[in-house]
Structure 1
């Protein structure tokens, strides 16, 4: 098994089709070159070449299903890979049963997928679950989720169209694994097409949008889910409510305090889930979210009044 296990893992569970999807072709590969590669296995009735943003993918349709199966089986077991102009070509079954040459916008391969998640409400599938499922195929740059009349949708941005196509081929029509879903969701299907977007504009890290390429992007304070309610103690005085989210004010700022610095300081007590930094009344404040109250309480007790740097700086 090679390092491309992300591409491999669905290869053998795909439904055979007389249309094959070829990836990693030389740029502007000619139709004749495709025919040359495929004709030893049977009669080719249609091709669609130069697909995808890098124009390095193609579809080939055989006259008969068994011809397509024989080509896939041959290269799956052969020690020599399929090659065009010395480049290794990856071959898998298409999720289409025939090539339709009038392209609809959702069929023009791009690096951003539009995913409709059927059978769920917006809160049922977290952005982390979406990230986990789609990361199996390559580095996910950005995700934005939203609710439309069509249902709960997500835009998922990859580096290139080849990666996006591989994810679409493997996941379109499938379900998110059961163990990643809340108990009340029976089934959810993914319907995937290509988006016309090429670069998503993500302004905040939040429970609705993420940019995995930019660790310095601010966290939207509303994305920190602490429930704050007023608690009255036995003496009738207002007690500060306990929460898994700490509000830290940082005084005597002689040095810059970044998200990374705070992460280092607060991670000593447990896993930090989220950090948001903002200015208030000319001073700097931060929200730090832990998984539970206990960890937050321990961190608060230990760090209250302490300095990040020697000499009393950044208290």
Structure 2
């Protein structure tokens, strides 16, 4: 809104039409909605306004741009007009239909919208449409550009397409939770077909390159998503256009993916994308995720805007049901240690009448989804375990005085949580179970032979070993993934002497 003077707004007597004009004498702005620092009675009248396709937005930050205001409405439908009141930190947004406006207001009633990390307030306007003067050329130009993105046949769209790359460069700030390829695909596919994604870490920041099939889709996604949070209050998207016009993807794994070529190898020992899954993605980038994670229209639009967590939005809790366990071997502690690789386990309950099953409560639904995606189908103590989302919202502790034979444990205050520190680097080192384990916090006097013997005694065969240069960390490769899982369960937090405890996690590397 730089360079735009205050806008004087008035309501024509006897009508609901809103007029906008600029004049040398319009030093003050007035508006009949009366929601700017007005009396409670005026605010009450605004809040009681019936549904309208005109949305009144208040408490905007001073530096908010028209594009950022438009981005609030863009995921819910076509934006047909905008009126800004810089002096009052307000704006009016006119949606293409009343239905789109209702969806937008309903969603923002439950999730507070933010612009530049400042909460803004949204409600229906008393006005049924905006009738604005075209003299404010910059505002109209912004609206025209957005309309071009929304209208495939317009000439402006062709200009935007010629000037823009179909490849976006994405930086994730404040990365409290891990961001996977599938999360990025789900967010950005709301704006068009995502063809390729490459993720990497540069300057200690998680980054991604994402290629759309059409530059206009990239323009629309950047306008709507730049500055938004993937999860509440964290994982902020910073988006620019890349100088590249095409990405060269060699492998389909957890770091890169070409959705148009499901036959690509995994490379570097990473798990490949199942061909049927890849085919589903390439045919319809929304179908598979939609089937796994159905969203209401409002939630889907909000997910497209990147304002809520995409995992677990269909009412799922942070509680997992784990079945087909080896009831002779499994304990609450073993489940706490294994599932703790993917999030902070709060409680574990082995079912009294079905001891091959357990409930595991994670800190939130995102961690539950992550643990389920990595551990379902893995082999633990000789049995392939099944991990699904539970209908329970919490794991109940036994009643006072009731002996449940130690089947229920509360780990809420455990010092062994890997992710209790906000922004922990551990979030950037979460990998699927593999035969190679990453060891850290190794005492200086511990040798390779000591560690080989320790892990062999855990019931496995050590195939390879490699110290890092500082000898505080190492990689150790077991003969199978199952052996690595058992070694992690047995030896994570193992006391190496001198109150130094070994840290064990899965590695993406091979030796």
Larger radius of gyration: 2
Both proteins in one fold, TM over 0.5 = no
Q: Which has the higher contact order (CA 8 A, sep 6+)?
A: 1
- Could you state the TM-score of these two structures normalised by the residue count of structure 2? 0.27
- Could you state the TM-score of these two structures normalised by the residue count of structure 1? 0.41
